[in-house]
A and B are shown apart, each in its own frame.
Chain A
Amino acid sequence: MIFSPLFASSGPVTHIAPGVIFHLFGWPITNSVFYGWISIVLMSIAFITVAHRIRVKPRGGFVQYVEVAADFVVSTIESAFEDKSKARKYTPYFITLFFFLLANNLLGLIPGVGDSVVYNSVPFLRPFTADFNATIAAAVITMGLVYTASIKEMGGKKYIRHFFMGSPKNPLYLVLGLIEMMTDLTRVISLSIRLFLNITIVEIIVVVFAYLGHIIAPLTAAPFYLIDAFDDMLQAFIFVLLAVMYIATAVNHVGGEDLTEENNTDRVGANPSETVAKAA
């Protein structure tokens, strides 16, 4: 019956958690982890090839798209930091993170990934970032870098001190400072939950609208498929943008005064007449 979806007695098959597909040395290997390995191999091949083909005058093709995307991330990072040399220091990690998340999000859009190919009653392939374990690992590593960088730039004592607005001996400022510390820790959870839920739920929405479409499933699912593609790119960017903002607020906190002083000396040195006048 064509109108059977209107009387939805049984909904579409959706999975919010990854399933175990096989065991390796007694370790359960889920479909997300398996697809993550595949994506690592594919990305290694693609980016090593790109790295060998980079020229001063680009010839177009895939290399140029990678360059544009990398340039976009670099400009985002540089605009967040006041000191450009410090921005350069953290750039490699964020570019790696951006491309890893982007590739893993977009790999979920390939036909055949998800419930269309079922093995051991679970989908054979599932995007790596649609697994909470994967996103929380990414968030823990990123926030670990943020905390390490903050402590390195500020020094341990000053880092603890910057949570408190006033003296920690004042009970009000003590409580507010402790709340501020807790808020800092919840960033790990919010980063990971945002990425995981976005990727998983947008995939579920595509499945739901393909199910509602019944015989014209491609037509009803197509707009949501495009939303999925847009959201995948946006979430990879937002993960990186938020991490950059967290790290930039901590690093910019220290280097303000040194920067202006350095600029002044640069300006004096760059202007020959001024230097001569100073010498005279």
Chain B
Amino acid sequence: MITLADTINTAIIGKGLMIGGGFIGPGIGMGLVGGSYLQAVGRNPEASKFLGQALVFVAIIELYALLAFASIFIVK
């Protein structure tokens, strides 16, 4: 008997779900960081010197997206 798993490569679907699901959160998070930074600069242009601090938060969030990307290599 031929099952569904034999006819289509379910690993591809798994990888796709992993990438899609794993990138939603970091994507929203990075958007919030960048939006808040621009809002702060718009209200108070002297706040533009805090770009380094904003990049730190981007780096912290980005790690989770990278972990999602790296996990696709363990799916066979």
Contact = CB atoms under 8 A, between A and B. Distances in A.
B52 A76 contact: yes
Contacts, number: 35
A194 B56 contact: no
Contacts of B52: 76, 241
Contacts of B63: 190, 193-194, 197
B67 A197 contact: yes
Nearest to B66: A197
Nearest to B52: A241
A182 to B, nearest CB: 17
B55 A197 contact: no
Interface residues on A, range: 10 to 19
Secondary structure class of chain A's binding surface, majority of residues: helix
A207 B2 CA distance: 35
A194 B59 contact: yes
Interface in B18-61: 52, 55-56, 59-60
Q: Summarize B's interface: helix, strand, loop or mixed.
A: helix
Contacts of A241: 52, 55-56
B70 interface: yes
A238 interface: yes
B59 A242 contact: yes
Contacts of A16: 70, 73
B56 A201 contact: no
A238 B67 contact: no
A238 B55 contact: yes
Contacts of A76: 52
Contacts of B67: 193, 197
Nearest to B70: A197
A17 to B, nearest CB: 9
A53 B62 CA distance: 39
Contacts of A238: 55-56, 59
Nearest to A200: B70
A234 B55 contact: yes
Interface in A199-219: 201
Interface string A178-208: 0000000000001001100110010000000
A63 interface: no
A106 interface: no
A242 B55 CA distance: 10
Given A238-B55, A241-B52, A194 B70 contact: no
A245 interface: yes
Q: 5 nearest interchain CB pairs? A: A197-B66, A238-B59, A194-B63, A16-B73, A201-B69
26 contacts: A16-B70, A76-B52, A190-B60, A190-B63, A193-B63, A193-B66, A194-B63, A197-B66, A197-B69, A197-B70, A198-B62, A198-B66, A201-B70, A234-B55, A234-B59, A235-B59, A237-B55, A238-B55, A238-B56, A238-B59, A241-B52, A241-B55, A241-B56, A242-B56, A242-B59, A245-B56
Given A193-B66, A238-B55, 20 more contacts: A16-B70, A76-B52, A190-B60, A193-B67, A194-B63, A194-B66, A197-B66, A197-B67, A197-B69, A197-B70, A198-B66, A201-B69, A201-B70, A234-B59, A235-B59, A238-B56, A238-B59, A241-B52, A241-B55, A245-B56
Interface of B: 52, 55-56, 59-60, 62-63, 66-67, 69-70, 73
